[in-house]
Structure formats: structure tokens, C-alpha cells
Structure 1
Amino acid sequence: MKIYDVEGFPNPARVRIALAEKGATDWVEFVPVDVMNGEHRSAEFKAKNPDAVVPCLELEDGSYIAQCNAITEYIDAEFDGPSLTGKTAKDRARIAMMNLRAENGLLNAVSAYFHHATPGLGPDLETDQCAEWGHKQKHVAARTMAYLDAVLADTAYLAGDEFSVADITAFAGLAFADFAKVEIPATLENLQAWRAKVAARPSIAA
């Protein structure tokens, strides 16, 4: 298997963490994509992933899987190890729900702020910016952080007692918030404690 990505970018990080949690990192060849010079928008790359984003997974049969949630779903089903997407119907539904809340309300919201309301990746890549939209999404991210803090008052992890893809997504979202200079209030003590706990996991600490 090959994964086309950029090391350190938030969505590629989600996939790399999932692979590490499953002990499957050595099964994958990582192929760097030169996003800063627009390689992801080239005809060659868009033939692999018409979304023109990373990460993108290439399977041994030559087929491709894009979209981060789809890739992590495949990884979780394909490799042994603790389930990241849930075993029972209820667990799977709850994890999917919390993962989407973390993705839409935090990671994607921070991304919208970064790409629309700041210089982002520079004028060659940041086209069709809408600063008003970006600033609104910054407020969405702040509300989501407060919501996640409230959830973590009652559970060890975002979807219950077990670490899941929802935690991976939220952790990547907070890392992106740091990079984009979106404040993570120190008053959100549950979120801060959860973040420190997750950061110490071998899949991330390494």
C-alpha cells in the first residue's frame, strides 16, 4: 500500500496515527506530495484523487481510496489491533457521530479560518478567499472546543471509555489550531487534560 501525503499536515497525521495504533505503519510506503508547489492539483495526482487533497491511499490492486474517514475506516478493518471505529452498532454510531463533530466543528473550522482569514499557504494556493467565512468558522471552533470539554467531563475519551478515531480527529484539530494561532482556552481543563493524555500515547509521542 502507498499513502500520498504531506508529513505534518493535519489530515495525513490522522491516518499516520491510525496506522501506528494498529501497528501497521511498516506495511505502508509514504509518498510525499509537493503541495506547496501545487502537485496535488496536477492532472497526474487528480487522476488518483479528483478531490486534489492529501492523504490518498493506493491499494495493491491499483485502486485508490481518498477522504480521511474512508482511509481510516479501511485501515481499521484491514489490520489487527484495537478497534478505532467501534465493534457494536451503538459504538460505531457514537464514534462516527463524535468523529464528525470533531471534524466539522473543530478541524474543518480551523482549516476554514486558516485558509480564508489568514495568508494561509500563500497567494498561489489560497484562491477565492472569504475572510468573513473564515472568521465565522473560528467562532465555530471555539464553541466546539467548549462542547468537547463538556463531553470529557463525563467520559475518558470523546466517544466513551476507549480511544477512537474521534480522538484522533480532535487531537489533529487542536494541533492545527496551535499552528493557525486559534486559542485553546486554558479554562477548558477537561480538554487540556485529555490532550495531554492522548499526546502521551506511543502512536503520537513517537
Structure 2
Amino acid sequence: MKLYSKPLAPNPLRVTMLANKKGLTLDFHNLDADDTRSTEYREINPIGQVPVLELDDGARITESLIICQYLDAVSGPPYLCGDGLEQRTRIAMWERRAEFQLLIPAVEYGHHRHPMFAARITQYPDWAGSIADAPRAFLKLMESRLAETPFLAGPDFSIADITAYYGCRFAAIYGLYPTPAPVIADWLDRVDAA
């Protein structure tokens, strides 16, 4: 399977971590910003985003969460997206919370405040400032949750932890969360080790 990716982009990083944690080998095809705008790449993904997972039969799957779910299902246990309805539901709930309340706002904050994106997009720094509280609020919720359980969705490492991990990392990179609380610092170490 081939993964069209961009080094250090948040969504490909999520797929890469899941693949690594599950011991999967993917053929990485790394792109730069110009590649994703090319006519050739738009034939692979008309939206021009990464990642794209190309299966051995040529079929393509887009959207990082869907790619993760596919890889998790075809690779067998341990299931990082859950095994059974209750576990899948709990993991999905925490994953979506982490994505919408932490990862996306942290990344968008950076897109609209960091100078390296100024030539690529129209930046709205005031809007970015208006969403800065969402990651901080979610990190407080994470502190409470991780005081009760080793990982975000319960006792086992899951896709929810992968999403929250990169949310924390990007929040730190962009100055939203420069020093993690001790319980989150400990969890970051557990995610690294999982």
C-alpha cells in the first residue's frame, strides 16, 4: 500500500503513527506543497489534500481518520479504533473531541498566526486568536480524564490518543500550550512508548 503524505503535516502524521504502532509497512510517497497543487496529484485526490492511501488494486482512500480505521481493521488486533460496539463508540467519542476541540483549532491557529504560512494562505490572525481557548479548554478536560485512566478513551492506547497527541504537539509548537501539565506530560511519555 502506498501513502501519499507530507512530512510533518498533522493528518499524515496520525496515519503514520497508527501504522507504526501496528507494525505496518507502507510505501511512503512524500509530497511538497507544490506537488499537492499539481494536475497530476489532483487526479489522485481532487481536493489536493494528504494523506491518500492507495491500495494494491489501485483504489484510493482519503481522509486520515478513515485511512486509520481501514488500516486498523485490515491489520487485526490490537484494534486501535476499538473492538466491539462499546469500545469503538467510546474511542470514537474521544477521538472526535480531540480532533475538533484540540487538533484542528491548534493547527488552524498556527496556519493563521505563523509567518511560514503567510505566502500560502490568507491569514486571519484575529480569528485565530478567537479559537485559541478551545485547545486550552480541551487540555483541561484531558487533565481530568487522564487523572482517572491511563489513556484518553480508557485503559488502552487508541486512535483517540494519536489524535490528541498531535493536538498537544501542535498546540505546543504554536505556543498555545508550551508546558504540559504533569499528568499530560506523563501521558505523552506513555503514548511515545505504546
What's the offset of the Cα at 1:88?
A: 1.3
The amino acid of 2:3's aligned partner reads I
The amino acid of 1:98's aligned partner reads W
User: For 1:74, which of 46, 49, 70 is the aligned residue?
Assistant: 70
- Cα deviation, 1:131-159, whole Å, max 9, x if unaligned, reads 22211222111111111111111111100
Tell me if structure 1 keeps the 8 A contact 2:2–2:53: yes
* SS of equivalent to 1:50: coil
* In 2, Cα distance between equivalents of 1:104 and 1:166: 12
User: For 2:55, which of 54, 59, 81 is the aligned residue?
Assistant: 59
* SS of equivalent to 1:61: coil
Instruction: Give me the TM-score of the superposition, normalised by structure 1.
Output: 0.88
- Cα deviation, 1:27-55, whole Å, max 9, x if unaligned, reads x21001112xx221222212212232111
User: For 1:191, which of 163, 171, 184 is the aligned residue?
Assistant: 184
User: For 2:41, which of 42, 45, 52 is the aligned residue?
Assistant: 45
* In 1, Cα distance between equivalents of 2:63 and 2:2: 15
Instruction: Give me the TM-score of the superposition, normalised by structure 2.
Output: 0.93
Partner of 2:102: 106
* SS of equivalent to 2:94: helix
Between the two proteins, the alignment pairs up a number of residues equal to 194
Tell me if structure 1 keeps the 8 A contact 2:98–2:163: yes
User: For 1:170, which of 155, 161, 164 is the aligned residue?
Assistant: 164
* In 2, Cα distance between equivalents of 1:54 and 1:120: 19
What's the offset of the Cα at 1:6?
A: 1.6
User: For 1:137, which of 131, 134, 140 is the aligned residue?
Assistant: 131
* SS of equivalent to 2:61: strand
* In 2, Cα distance between equivalents of 1:184 and 1:94: 29
* SS of equivalent to 2:29: strand
Q: Structure 2 stretches of 5 or more lacking a match? A: none
User: For 1:91, which of 87, 96, 110 is the aligned residue?
Assistant: 87
* In 2, Cα distance between equivalents of 1:142 and 1:61: 43
Confirm or deny that 1:181 pairs with 2:175: yes
Partner of 2:17: 17
Tell me if structure 2 keeps the 8 A contact 1:114–1:120: no
Q: Structure 1 stretches of 5 or more lacking a match? A: 202-206
Q: Which portions of structure 1, spanning 4 or more consecutive aligned residues, are displaced by more than 4 angstroms?
A: none
* In 2, Cα distance between equivalents of 1:147 and 1:184: 17
Indicate the RMSD between aligned Cα atoms, in angstroms. Answer: 1.5
Tell me if structure 1 keeps the 8 A contact 2:149–2:155: yes
* In 1, Cα distance between equivalents of 2:44 and 2:98: 27
* In 2, Cα distance between equivalents of 1:141 and 1:20: 26
Partner of 1:8: 8
Tell me if structure 2 keeps the 8 A contact 1:39–1:45: yes
Partner of 1:121: 117
What's the offset of the Cα at 1:180?
A: 1.9
Tell me if structure 1 keeps the 8 A contact 2:172–2:179: no
Q: Percent of counterpart pairs with the same letter?
A: 35
